[in-house]
Amino acid sequence: MDVRPSILLVDDHKNIRDPLATYMRRFDFEVEAVEDGRAMRERLEARSFSLIVLDVMLPGENGLSLCRYVSEHLRTPVILLTAVTDQADRIAGLEIGADDYVVKPFDPRELVARIRSVLRRNQAPVPPADAWRAPAPSEVRFLFSGWTLDTRARELRNPSDEEVPLSTAEYHLLRTLLEHPNRVLSRSQILDLTQRTDTVAFDRSIDSQISRLRKKLECDPRRPAMLKTVRGDGYLLATRVTVEKS
């Protein structure tokens, strides 16, 4: 029997939280709804969830801080609910590890569609039909410049053999780059290869994700030696990559 996706909904407005939880349950999601960061942390200590829908403006600890915690420690996909309409602020949410965002006010059908999209991306990615893509084994270790990415454990380790946390989006981006080393990939190709074709807004978020990866991989992120920008074309992972069975 299939297990229903479990969703943790965090919003301090009861008149939004309760009707939205009821609506989401109509689509075969198991939904728990809480009102703030303290309650969210308590639920996360008690059990795991398939995805978190998280309001940015919360009393006490705000949604961005909570999203950063989830990205660094749990790696559970996060969709932010935000009333902020400025693109720079929305990208800031993606930079700290959010997988998507929905701007208030929103149609609940849009949120359900985005939940499904994020869940698909975080299950078994299906290679796109592009003929130029060479499919990689599903469970391998990528070795590059002293680093190791183990796709079975979704674990990145640095040359000192220390684990470096990756958000879900960062993992998929890094894996895509490692599958195509020393090749310039445009933003649209990266979106296709990471299965992030659901919204045009994510085109610019690739830049933010690249920036986050540079901070983790490069000694000097301002002068990257591996993860290079090819002006007008896209990005290039300039390193030798060895692939081993995991």
Say how many CA atoms lie within 13 Å of 104 toward its Cβ. 16
Residues 94, 149: one domain?
A: no
Residues 162 and 237 in one domain: yes
pLDDT tens sequence across 84-123: 665 666 677 777 778 888 888 889 999 999 899 888 877 6
The DSSP-derived string for 143-165 is: EETTEEEETTTTEEE-TTS-EE-
Percent of the chain with pLDDT over 90: 52
pLDDT digits (tens, 9 = 90+) for 198-240: 443 445 567 878 888 999 999 998 899 999 998 877 899 999 9
In terms of Cα–Cα distance, which of 99, 227, 213 is closest to 166? 213
* 178 and 232 housed in the same domain: yes
Gyration radius (Cα) of the chain, Å: 18
| Final residue belonging to a domain, choices 121, 156, 179 | 121
Residues 104 and 39 in one domain: yes
CB atoms within 10 A of CB 131: 6
Q: How many CA atoms lie within 13 A of 96 on its CB side?
A: 19
**For the packed helices 63-73 and 37-46, what is the interaxial angle rounded to 10 degrees?**
20
Q: Is the pLDDT of residue 193 over 80?
A: no
127 falls within a domain: no
pLDDT at 128 over 70: no
100 in the same domain as 145: no
148 with 90, same domain: the answer is no
pLDDT of residue 46: 92
Task: Give the residue with greater pLDDT, 53 vs 120.
Answer: 53
Domain count, the chain: 2
The range of the structural domain enclosing residue 99 comes to 6-121
- Is there a single domain that holds both residue 82 and residue 116? yes
Question: Is there a contact between 168 and 77 (Cβ–Cβ < 8 Å)?
Answer: yes
For the chain, give the mean pLDDT.
84
DSSP H helical segments within the chain, as ranges? Answer: 14-25, 37-46, 63-73, 87-95, 108-121, 168-179, 187-193, 202-217
Whether pLDDT at 135 is above 90? no
